[in-house]
Structure 1
């Protein structure tokens, strides 16, 4: 992996969530692969695309794979060879994405900044990663999340279905890019785990953190993104910030067979330009 001139202060560890959430992942079934991460997009497994993006980044020091299961890794020559190197490590996945993240973070020195992404981020590239990390670190945040404005996505991909969170100052979509920039920032992984553990009523945890006034402002369309993040920061004791990325591709992941087909079509059109 590449690193900047002072790797001890500016390089970042990366965690890639690469395990399936269930035994019958629809993308894996559609692709005929043993797990979603290995489903090919335009002939290249999605996990390989993500690893190539991390390799192209100027910021990434080591990569930590949370999954796929070890028997799948051992059966894949490319993954097995990769894990024999000095810059990539495998970790057993846990019962949920948040639990896998917490377990992987526990294996990484606490002072290290950590980028978190997913194996289905088929359009990720090194420039996106560098832009996100440079902006987050320049703002001295504890935890950062990458977002793209919904209008930006619709302008580029009008037929693509994306889940948006609507605030008073506009709707945004997540990018499956997060950064734990300080030891304090790692507390957000524990908060995420509490939300996931409240499977039946996760909004109770979020509402309890935002506060009644924050929830009411959101429900009435008066809560801005910055206000929401400020409230979370204050109540959790962590400096949380959003990094707005301009490239809509940053918000595209592959959660269904239709997504996979759309991404392949998009890659073909980009290649033809």
Structure 2
């Protein structure tokens, strides 16, 4: 791996969260990213996958850490309380606006370096996209993790769950983050949301008639950047650990993988 390839991406890992999260509290840790899985914090598993990918230069981590995690982090930042505030703070700290930024949550401990590299390879095939978001087919999730409970969305091309990572062009942050904030603010107000994305698009989405391509086009118009979905067979990309049943699944999976 050349030095240029190794710094192709800068990564921001989101490991903050509500200090009163019952799941974290039940395990005696400050936040979910520190809950032990197979004897090690979830966030450490993610950090190792990112570093082992060989494609990431600098890594910023938001939230509490352990000394073993610190050895894999270039910049450790406090939690700002919201996704958008954390994104802004993380990008400002990383500084470099060239290439693409990789953002991951700290609660996907089953993610491997090879799986991450597969997603990055698919992203590289779409150089013009300013925002890329992986989705996982339902059948891939249920085949890899039988009995897993996830939120799925049905579109005309199939049924998918969203991933827990995404990629974007940092140079476009000022362009789409304000629009994304408006979407998040409207997510619990159906009339506002319909006005933003268009009632026709919303109706087709709710009835399963919207295609992946149609959804990409709607998101692109809404955010003002070219957005593309990455369909990946890697269920670990879309399987976070935030409740006891998820933890039992992750423990069993990782014990078999070792």
Pairing 1:254–2:251 present: no
Give the match for residue 12 of structure 1.
9
Write out per-residue CA displacement over residues 138-157 of structure 1, whole angstroms, 9 at most, x where no aligned residue: 21111100111012112232
Question: Which of 58, 61, 82 is the equivalent residue of 1:96?
Answer: 82
Say whether the 8 Å CA contact 1:143–1:182 is kept in structure 2: no
1:230 CA drift (Å): 0.9
Q: CA deviation at 1:186?
A: 6.2
Aligned to 1:53: 49
What CA distance in whole angstroms lies between the structure 2 residues aligned with 1:209 and 1:132? Answer: 29
Give the Cα–Cα distance (whole angstroms) in 1 for the partners of residues 39 and 180 of structure 2.
34
Q: What stretches of structure 1 of length at least 5 have no aligned partner?
A: none
Q: 1:188 to 1:171 in 2, by over 3 A?
A: farther
User: Which of residues 158, 175, 192 is equivalent to 2:163?
Assistant: 175
Tell me which residue corresponds to 1:77.
67
User: For residues 17 and 99 of structure 1, what CA distance do their matches in structure 2 show?
Assistant: 11
In the alignment, what sits opposite 2:28?
32
Cα distance change of structure 1 residues 55 and 169 upon mapping to structure 2, 3 Å threshold: same
* 2:199 aligns with one of 196, 212, 223: 212
| Rounded Cα–Cα distance in structure 1 between residues aligned with 2:156 and 2:71 | 49
TM-score after normalising by structure 1: 0.85
Q: How does 1:113-128 map to 2 (within 5 A)?
A: 113-128=100-115
SS in 1 for 2:164: strand
Q: After superposition, what is the alpha-carbon deviation per residue over 1:104-141, rounded to whole angstroms, capped at 9, x for unaligned? A: 12333222410000111111121122111221122111
Residue equivalent to 1:139 = 126
State the partner residue of 1:237: 224
Please, which moves more after superposition, 113-122 or 224-233?
224-233
Aligned-residue CA RMSD in angstroms? 2.2
Q: Report the Cα distance in structure 1 between the residues aligned to 2:151 and 2:208, rounded to whole angstroms.
A: 17
- How far did 1:176 drift? 0.6
Residue 192 of structure 1: CA displacement?
Answer: 3.2
Gap regions ≥5 residues in structure 2: none
Contact map agreement 2:51 2:72 (CA 8 A) in 1: no
> Aligned equivalents of 1:221 and 1:214: distance in 2?
11
- C-alpha distance in 1 between matches for 2:35 and 2:76: 19
* 1:161 maps onto 2:149 in alignment: yes
